[in-house]
Amino acid sequence: KKKLKISGRELASVPAQVFGLDQLQVLEMSPERESCLRYRMELLPPEISHLRNLTCLYVDSNNLKKIPAEIGTLSHLERLTLSNNRLSSLPPEMGALQRLHSLHLANNSLTELPAPLCQLRSLTFLDVSDNKIRTVPSSIQHLEKLETLLLLFNSLESLPEEVCLLRNLRTFWLGNNHLQSLPASFGELVNLDWGYNYCSCNFEGNPLEIPPPEVCSRGPEEIRAYFLSFHR
């Protein structure tokens, strides 16, 4: 079998037999769509490294506090979902997942955007909503293929200018942070869909002053014009 879903009313650990399935490509241990179940895994065992052919690993809504360094050996991994756990950090070895294009980290306890993530040049989707993130490293510019970046419900007070180099961004949610200003080059993110209600770029819940929210709602041209006049 190449796909396996493990379910149980109170799943607390990965059955040892799973690590013998060396041809496994998809492993799902998440109750996301089964509200009657309650999973309690606190540890993803280092033996996860035995599943060298994994392309998708789903472990949302567990009780994970730590991800083992061995996760970095899963060189075929393309999708990893870790939302709704208790993670406060990620191992640097995650930077080796060079095929990863979708990473879900919402609703954890991360206080910063981990530097290893900025090495994932194949990443197109990154969700770090509902954490405690205060800063975004300038190295985020290396995520040149990123199309979706969700940072809402964090503790961001500023954004680095380098975030404006992510020219493939199509969705960028920043709502409910502590942002008072945006980078001067923010208007260069022209691939964002600034359509109805500027739904692909959300600023609501921030004390924005530079530029004011009404300017942001008009799209990139108005933002660029604002900063040109602001610096005169």
Give per-10-residue mean pLDDT for the chain (232 aa): 79 87 92 64 92 95 93 97 94 95 96 89 96 93 95 95 94 93 90 65 88 84 86 61
Residue 136 CA: distances (Å) to CA of 25, 119, 157, 226: 32, 14, 10, 24
Domains of the chain and CATH, by start: 3-230 (3.80.10.10)
In contact, 170 and 149? CB cutoff 8 Å: no
> Of 36, 115, 31, nearest to 81 (Cα)?
31
The pTM assigned to this predicted structure is 0.91
pLDDT of residue 216: 83
pLDDT of residue 215: 86
